[in-house]
Amino acid sequence: MAKLRHTKSNAFFKKAKRIIPGGVNSPVRAFRAVGGNPLFISSAKGSKIYDVDGNEYIDYVLSWGPMILGHSHPTVVKALQKACTRGTSFGAPTPLEIELAGMIRKAYPSMEIVRMVNSGTEATMSAIRVARGFTGRDKIIKFEGCYHGHADGLLVKAGSGAATFGVPDSPGVPKDYARNTITLPFNDLSAFRKTLEKSAKQIACVIIEPVVGNSGLILPRPGYLEGLRKLTKKYGVVLIFDEVMTGFRVSYGGAQKAFKIKPDMTCLGKVIGGGLPVGAYGGRSDIMKMVSPEGPVYQAGTLSGNPLAMTAGIETLKILSQPGTYKKLMEKSEALEEALKGAANSAGVKTKFYRAGTMFCTYFTDQEVYSFEDAKKSDTGKFGIFFRKMLDEGINLAPSQFESGFMSLAHSNADIDNTARAAYKAFKEIA
């Protein structure tokens, strides 16, 4: 396959850099981790995206997860077109909010009461505020490699020791915010236990991606999530599952259903908006009754429960809840897993492949990945080569070793076969 031309994308990027920070509206889109310039996309349909130069790509980014049905699903598009004629925003209650919240609660029984917001960042930020209001405590625990949005208190890296208070991970984050965040290694139950034994009376909540999707993909060790649940109950600390990425992706009921863990609170986004901006948080009724106007913890949003986002979410979940849908999704995901593993083995390249439901990641390492420290040992140079070779073959992957890929219902057997052939060629370039 001839190398694709990106003349128009490069021209748009040059123009964008003059009026948008770095030329992009979200950092990972800039391709700095893999080299080259980003694609500018003109359209998408099914499993494919099309750039402004007319190139076609099999897409495994899927808008970073939401497009689980595939791009421009006709049922969702038709419903949105109809919804647009009724109005794009009301700033007032609508029956659609109740319908989607009910569907979420049915899929996630732990979310007894649900509040709609506009993004995953809003969901995690709000859930932490509610947990603090409920417990009367200030400090929180997060884990290395887990990303919970760009709120100040969450852009925090670990201090000098495993259980020390964090320091800002970005300029503009006050040190006082970071002092209330404790960062621990993922999959290290001993470090977590010691921290609670020492500081539980100061800790309002623990927030965690039950499957880490922002460091590639890191699975919890057997017993790890169960240990977190047991210890948080013992010490009266609110356990928050950030399922913005894993929600409806690991299973219809998310990671908490797959691992049989009931958190106190859950944050969702991505899939529940069917491609439109949306988020939600919810949990035990006694905790959620702290939220204004029922309780004293303030949180608001002009566009929360937006009728277009609610419509897209409802139609998406209707399709996902149909019998056999997840069987198809898992079969496709398993086929891709075997294809990519087989291509790497045939080419003689050592990789570690991990999958959780419809999420996946290939690390360029021969060591198992259980933590962010393990993930950082991957050969990012080899990943960069792999990414660029795959792009040249018409395969769109996330432009970072530390991001997950996603499967959709729209991906075909031919897509998977073409991906396998492209991967073999790319791996051979690296071997």
CATH number of the domain bearing residue 411: 3.90.1150.10
Pick from 276, 300, 320: which residue ends a domain?
320
Q: What is the pLDDT of residue 168?
A: 67
Residue 1 lies in a domain: no
- In angstroms, the CA 66 to CA 14 distance is 28
Q: What is the pLDDT of residue 174?
A: 80
Q: What is the pLDDT of residue 167?
A: 60
400 touches 29 (CB < 8 A): no
Closest CA to 247 of 125, 371, 406, 96: 406
Catalytic residue (choose from 242, 264, 374, 379): 242
Catalytic residue (choose from 270, 352, 382, 389): 270
Q: Are 89 and 201 members of one domain?
A: yes
Residue 32 lies in a domain: yes
Number of domains in the chain: 2
117 touches 126 (CB < 8 A): yes
Q: Are 275 and 400 members of one domain?
A: no
Residue 414 lies in a domain: yes
Q: What is the pLDDT of residue 285?
A: 98
Q: What is the pLDDT of residue 164?
A: 42
Q: Are 28 and 103 members of one domain?
A: no
151 touches 216 (CB < 8 A): no
Q: State the amino acid at position 77 in one-letter form.
A: V
397 touches 390 (CB < 8 A): yes
- In angstroms, the CA 330 to CA 5 distance is 34
Q: Are 303 and 359 members of one domain?
A: no
Q: Are 153 and 46 members of one domain?
A: no
379 is catalytic: no
Residue 136 lies in a domain: yes
Pick from 274, 304, 320: which residue ends a domain?
320
Pick from 288, 320, 352: which residue ends a domain?
320
pLDDT in tens, the chain (431 residues): 567 899 999 999 999 999 999 999 998 899 999 999 999 999 999 999 999 999 999 999 999 999 999 999 999 999 999 999 999 999 999 999 999 999 999 999 999 999 999 999 999 999 999 999 999 999 999 999 999 988 888 877 644 343 345 566 778 888 877 889 999 999 999 999 999 999 999 999 999 999 999 999 999 999 999 999 999 999 999 999 999 999 999 999 999 999 999 999 999 999 999 999 999 999 999 999 999 999 999 999 999 999 999 999 999 999 999 999 999 999 999 999 999 999 999 999 999 999 999 999 999 999 999 999 999 999 999 999 999 999 999 999 999 999 999 999 999 999 999 999 999 999 999 98
242 is catalytic: yes
Q: Are 80 and 220 members of one domain?
A: yes
Residue 305 parent element (H or E): none
- Residue 259: which domain range? 74-320
Q: What is the pLDDT of residue 171?
A: 83
Q: Are 224 and 117 members of one domain?
A: yes
Q: Are 40 and 179 members of one domain?
A: no
Q: What is the pLDDT of residue 431?
A: 85
Q: What is the pLDDT of residue 150?
A: 86
**CA-based torsion, 319, 322, 326, 332: positive or negative:** negative
Chain-centre distance for alpha carbon 416: 22
DSSP 255-302: HHHHTT---SEEEE-GGGGTTSS-EEEEE-HHHHTTBTTTSSB----T
The pairing of strands 41-45 and 48-51 is antiparallel
Q: Are 371 and 282 members of one domain?
A: no
Q: Are 122 and 110 members of one domain?
A: yes
Q: Give the domain CATH number at 220.
A: 3.40.640.10
Q: Are 301 and 414 members of one domain?
A: no
Q: What is this structure's pTM?
A: 0.95
User: Coil, strand or helix: which one is 34?
Assistant: coil
Q: Which residues of 358-395 are buried (b: 16+ CB within 10 A; e: fewer)?
A: bbbbbbbbeeebbbbebbbebbbebbbbbbbbbbbbbb
Q: What is the pLDDT of residue 170?
A: 78
325 touches 73 (CB < 8 A): no
Closest CA to 376 of 33, 14, 15: 33
Catalytic residue (choose from 57, 60, 108, 147): 147
Residue 208 lies in a domain: yes
User: Coil, strand or helix: which one is 240?
Assistant: strand
Tell me the chain's radius of gyration from C-alpha atoms: 21
- In angstroms, the CA 40 to CA 50 distance is 9
Q: Are 244 and 327 members of one domain?
A: no
